[in-house]
Amino acid sequence: MQEKTKQAGLARKVSVLGAGAWGTAVAMALARRHDVLLWGRNAAALQAMATARENTYLPGHVFPDRLHVAADFEAALAHVAAPGSLLIAACPVAGLRPLLQSLKGRAIPNVVWLCKGFEYDTGLLPHQIVREVLGDAVAGGALSGPSFAQEVAKGLPCALTIASASAELRALVVETAHGGNMRVYSSEDLVGVEVGGAVKNILAIATGAADGLGLGLNARAALITRGLAEITRLGVALGGQTETFMGLTGMGDLILTCTGDLSRNRRVGLGLAQGKALEVIVQELGHVAEGVPCAKAVRELSARLGVEMPITNAVAGVLFDGDQPQAMVARLLSRDPRGE
C-alpha cells in the first residue's frame, strides 16, 4: 500500500482516444497529475476545444494545463509509445472495433477501454472485441463504475474499478488514476464488470420510463432490485462472479444510472413515457445512449443462452417492436408469481 502511494506521484503519459463527455472528463481528471493528450474523430471540434479550453459535450468545465488536444492520431499514439504509458479508448461500443483496427500492428503496450455495452451486431463484450482485433499480446482492461462525466469533470469524488486479467495493467491503472478525489479498485472479473456496466443502461431506460409514467418509488425500487437479479443471471451465465454484481460496477452503477437525472439512458426512458419517438429523444440528447443498441444485443444473447431477462425484453419491445411503455409495465406485472 505504501508502495502504491509513493508511485501515485509519478507523472505518466496518457492518450485518450475519444473526445465525448466521458473521454474528456477522464482526460481532465488524469491531467491534474499527468501529461494527457485527448484525440477525437472530429478535427473541427478539436480545434474549437483547443481554443476554448473546454468541450461542448461538457460545457463550463475548463481544461487543466496538462491536458492537450491532439488532432493528429499519430501524435496521440507516439505520446504513449514508451513503456508505462496508458492508451485509453473512450469511444462508444459501436466505435471500439474500428478504433482498435486502426491500432492493429502498432506497438501498444497497455489499453484501457471505458465503453459500456455489448456490440450491437455480434453480442460481444468489449474485451472480446479487443481480443478479436488485437489478440492476446496487448494487456487490456475495462475501467468502469458509477461516474457521471459532469461530476468527474468538476473534480467531485468518485470510485471506479479497473478489471483486467493482467496484474501489471491493474497496478498501472491504479497508480495512474487513483488519487485526489478518484478511488480506483481493481478486479480480475472482466466479464462481471463489463456485464454490469452494459446491462444497467437498459435498466435505466426501464426505470426512467416507470418514473415518467408516475408509477412511484416502490416500482422504481422493484425494477432496480429485479434488474440486479437480471444482470447477475446473465453475468454468471457468461462466467462472471456473483459478488462482482454487488459492487461498484454492478449495484453501484445500476443505482446511479437508474436514479440520477444526469443519466442519458434514464432520460431515454423519461422521453418514452412522454410519448416521444426514439429518434427524437436521441437527437435531443446529443449524446450516445448505450442502453438502446445494448437492449437488442442482450435480448438476442439471453434468448440464445436461455437466461430469463423480462425487464430487458420489455424495454427492447418498446424500443424496437412499437410496444407502448404502459404495455411494458403491464407485461412485467402479469408474469406468473415465482420465488424471489
Ligand X SMILES: O=C(CO)COP(=O)(O)O
The SS3 call for residue 113 is strand
Residue with cell 477522464: 26
> How many residues bind to ligand X according to rule CB under 6 A?
13
Length of the chain: 340
Tell whether residue 116 is among the known ligand binding residues.
yes
Binding mask 272-311 for ligand X (x = CB under 6 A): ------------------x---------------------
Cβ at position 152, least distance to ligand NDP in Å: 7
Cα atoms found within 13 Å of the Cα of residue 243, Cβ hemisphere only: 3
The answer to whether 33 touches 13, Cβ cutoff 8 Å, is no
Cell of 243: 459478488
Give 19 or 172: the residue with its C-beta nearer to ligand NDP: 19
Q: How far apart are the C-alpha atoms of 26 and 72, rounded to whole Å?
A: 20
User: Phi/psi of residue 169, each to 5°?
Assistant: -65, -45
Does position 164 bind ligand X by CB under 6 A? no
Give 22 or 245: the residue with its C-beta nearer to ligand NDP: 22
Element (H, E) at 28: helix 21-30
Residue 85 binding target from ligand NDP, ligand X, none, CB below 5 to 8 Å by type: none
Look up 200 and say whether it is catalytic. Answer: yes
Give 123 or 269: the residue with its C-beta nearer to ligand X: 269
Cell of 326: 404502459
| Residues 65-104 within binding reach of ligand X (CB under 6 A) | none
Tell whether residue 253 is among the known ligand binding residues.
yes
Tell whether residue 113 is among the known ligand binding residues.
no
Q: How far apart are the C-alpha atoms of 230 and 228, rounded to whole Å?
A: 5
Q: What is the DSSP string of 4-26?
A: HHHHTT---EEEEE--SHHHHHH
Residue with cell 412499437: 322
Does position 161 bind ligand X by CB under 6 A? no
Give 81 or 278: the residue with its C-beta nearer to ligand X: 278
| Residues 110-149 within binding reach of ligand X (CB under 6 A) | 116, 146-148
Tell whether residue 193 is among the known ligand binding residues.
no
Does position 176 bind ligand X by CB under 6 A? no
Q: For 101-181, where are the E strands, in sequence order?
A: 110-113, 139-144, 158-163
Tell whether residue 303 is among the known ligand binding residues.
no
Neighbours of 226 (CB within 10 A): 15
| Residues 196-255 within binding reach of ligand X (CB under 6 A) | 201, 204, 253
Q: In what order do the strands lie in the sheet with 13-17?
A: 67-70, 35-39, 13-17, 86-89, 110-113, 139-144, 158-163, 182-187
Integer angstrom CA distances of residue 311 from 122, 165, 181, 223, 265: 21, 31, 35, 8, 15
Tell whether residue 41 is among the known ligand binding residues.
yes
Give 82 or 262: the residue with its C-beta nearer to ligand NDP: 262
Cβ at position 231, least distance to ligand NDP in Å: 15
Among 24, 176, 232, 265, binds ligand X (CB under 6 A): 265
Q: How far apart are the C-alpha atoms of 46 and 64, rounded to whole Å?
A: 16
Footprint of ligand NDP on this chain (CB under 6 A)? 18-23, 40-42, 45, 57, 90-95, 114-117, 147-149, 287-288, 290
Query: Could you tell me which residues are annotated as the binding site?
Result: 18-23, 41, 57, 116, 145, 147, 149, 200, 253, 263-265, 288, 290
Q: Which residues bind ligand X (CB under 6 A)?
A: 116, 146-148, 201, 204, 253, 256-257, 263-265, 290
